[in-house]
Structure 1
Amino acid sequence: MKWSSVAVASGLFTSSNALLRFGCSQLTVQRLDPLVNPGLIPSTHLHQIIGGNSFNASMDIKTHDLPTVSTCTTCQFTEDFSNYWTAVLYFKAKNGTYKRVPQRAQQGMEGTNGGMVVYYMSDALFDTAQKSSVTAFKPGFRMLVGDVTYTTRDQARDFRQLTYTCMQNEGTRSPEYVDFPKTTCPSGIMINHRFPTCWDGVNLDSPNHRDHVAYPESGTFESGGPCPSTHPVKIPQILLETVWDTKQFNNKADWPADGSQPFVWSSGDGTGFANHADYVFGWKGDSLQKHLDSHSYVTASTLKTQTIAQQNKCTVKDMVGENFDGWLTKLPGDIMA
């Protein structure tokens, strides 16, 4: 599906300046993937999903309007019915069995059931001015970052800033690595997904869910690098932060006999280079644009909030019906890592 190219040529996009940071509790954990495996129940590997409760195996770009068909959201702002999802992290023990790693809330969001913290930025996170102009996403927009088949650093260079942080305490945000940490992490592993920030201005999606978006042609998003001519429209950077509570797995006696790091994605990847995330836009009306136009930093006076207890109540039914907890001999989908 396409957005009118006339809008790009005639400058009809509204530009804006702002940063938004908010928490979303867990909506569901299931083998569903409406982008890569639309209609397939179950999908190839397990995902953890946040956002609006219209999430399901089939979310057709022409008919599935998230704000219309959702009745609740797990996100702090009630106007955000978007869906965001990533693969699930597992611990692989010395005996070859697997156990799902729980997610935990960040400081100040205690009580949140798993989930992630979401950012929308027009400039680097540390830039309180947020002066750059960006264009809000359009209804039906969706994208994917990362590649589930990647297993090497050279392959992973296709994507920027899909990283891992070994948290020493609650405030740890650096250094960031592109593969799994090799040592124990006292406060867990934070995994960061930063999406591309340039759009072709026409297509709401593409066959691989990536070609309609791009990174700056030089420099980075943080340095204000320009968008390429093929993707001239600057969009907000979405950053997802997921804290995986690995503390219960910090006994190295339970790690592989060769001392290698023990964590694997639910897709079976043990390198970390298959890190990936999906996004389907679902903000109600022009609520995201209005916020961006407010030029605010973190605060969101134009948006409505709900309590963490209300966020936690929003769920979807189990559409797959499989066990993914406890100690497993194989990852869900009969995957071996």
Structure 2
Amino acid sequence: MKLHSRALSAFLVSVACAVTAAAGLGLTTLTAQASPDSGTSGASAHMSMDHSQVAPVAGGDDPDGDGYIPAVPQVTGVTPSWNNPPDRYFHEFQANCAVSRTAPDDPIVFAGRPGASHNHTFMGNTTTDAFSTTASLSGGGTACKAPGDLSGYWMPTLYNGSRPVLPTGPQVIYYKTGVTDYTSVRPFPKGLRFVVGSPTQTAAEFRAHKGWVEGWECGDSFKNVEFPANCPAGTQLNIRMQAPSCWDGKNLDTPDHKAHMAYPVVKPGTNDNVCPADHPVALPMIEFKMAFPVSGDMSQVRLSSGAGHTFHYDFFNAWDDRTLNALVEHCIKGGLQCNARGYDETHPAAGAVLGPDYRLP
């Protein structure tokens, strides 16, 4: 493993954080009962470290430890599409995925370093941990309705005081188009991973984030940067956040876990969204829509990463290629509003992509 001096220093810091975090949390098993981060734990002490400061560890999908994971094959010779196909109000499908576990792991930011992260709530793949790779996820199980979705999805764990508040049942993860030419969208390459937002972002940065939709919501309270002071009894705390959907075509990951992805830009002189020239490949736009069963006095509600404005999430693609391709072709490129089976109730003649068991026929 070759590490430059700056990378080596960051690596040593992260190792120290991992040891302190494990000791401070008293970790013995990585399950949904993992202890919350305390204000003095090692996990909280290092959670403000920017993702770009974390030195990659050699192994798994990144054998040389430089933080770059090249796509094989790379997608070259692509120019962003400026076409404007027939207008369709919807071009999406849902991945409905339930919580599988919680753990102070992050196989993207702290790959190979169990206990080094603030606590995360994992959805989708049931095997996701600090050592997860494309191969391990592809061989794992899933808490998604569609067995072909073996991807890992995770976000900081929400707490009410010391009690973790986990979303119940399958959560809605939309796969949409972020560009006007929805017919140009391609499936994710296997092994693509990225982080949306940051635990170190300020409240102003969170509000101005290109993935912002309506912030934290409950009852009639919307567009909150921080958690509302009170939510009507029986309501849920909700958040939606959109991911970048333009890819450089070269890397499945980069050292900051963001540079290989970009948000669409507006085509000059129009209202059309197009991919920028340096990230020309249009991919599905993921949108998290999370619902947390907590209401009433919200003064003790927090994220494992800090205040409400530190919300962020991670995505690691391990879809079965044929299943993902079929859903993208039928629902996104077909201009439909599909459920997790790839069926649009308003266009029944178009049929469904998946069978009653959510598998390809």
Same fold per TM (> 0.5)?
Answer: yes
Match of 2:171 among 116, 132, 136: 116
Corresponding residue for residue 230 of structure 1: 278
Aligned-partner SS, 2:325: helix
Aligned-partner SS, 1:66: helix
One-letter code aligned to 1:73: T
TM-superposed deviation, 1:164: 3.0
TM alignment of 1:61-72, pairs within 5 A: 64=135, 66-67=137-138, 69-70=139-140, 72=141
Conserved 8 A contact 1:18-1:292:
no
Corresponding residue for residue 146 of structure 2: 77
Corresponding residue for residue 338 of structure 2: 298
Distance 1:213 1:56 in 2: 23
One-letter code aligned to 1:293: E
Distance 1:54 1:99 in 2: 23
- TM-score, scaled relative to structure 2: 0.65
Aligned-partner SS, 1:28: strand
C-alpha distance 142-29 of structure 1, shift in aligned 2 (>3 A): same
Corresponding residue for residue 7 of structure 1: 75
Aligned-partner SS, 1:135: coil
C-alpha distance 65-101 of structure 1, shift in aligned 2 (>3 A): closer
C-alpha distance 161-41 of structure 1, shift in aligned 2 (>3 A): same
Question: Relative contact order: is structure 1 or structure 2 higher (C-alpha 8 Å, sep ≥ 6)?
Answer: 1
TM alignment of 1:142-157, pairs within 5 A: 142-154=193-205, 157=208
Distance 2:143 2:74 in 1: 36
User: Structure 1 residue 45 and structure 2 residue 118: aligned?
Assistant: yes
One-letter code aligned to 1:139: K
Corresponding residue for residue 310 of structure 1: none
In the alignment of these two chains, the number of paired residues is 264
Corresponding residue for residue 99 of structure 1: 163
Could you tell me which runs of 5 or more consecutive residues in structure 2 were left unpaired when the two chains were aligned: 1-68, 343-351
Conserved 8 A contact 1:5-1:201:
no
Conserved 8 A contact 2:216-2:226:
no
- TM-score, scaled relative to structure 1: 0.69
Q: Which has the higher helix share?
A: 2
Conserved 8 A contact 1:162-1:178:
no
TM-superposed deviation, 1:241: 1.4
User: Structure 1 residue 58 and structure 2 residue 131: aligned?
Assistant: yes
Superposed CA deviations along residues 288-312 of structure 1, whole A, max 9, x for unmatched, are 11221122421412234548xxxxx
Could you tell me which runs of 5 or more consecutive residues in structure 1 were left unpaired when the two chains were aligned: 93-97, 105-111, 256-260, 308-337
TM alignment of 1:208-227, pairs within 5 A: 208-218=256-266, 224-227=272-275
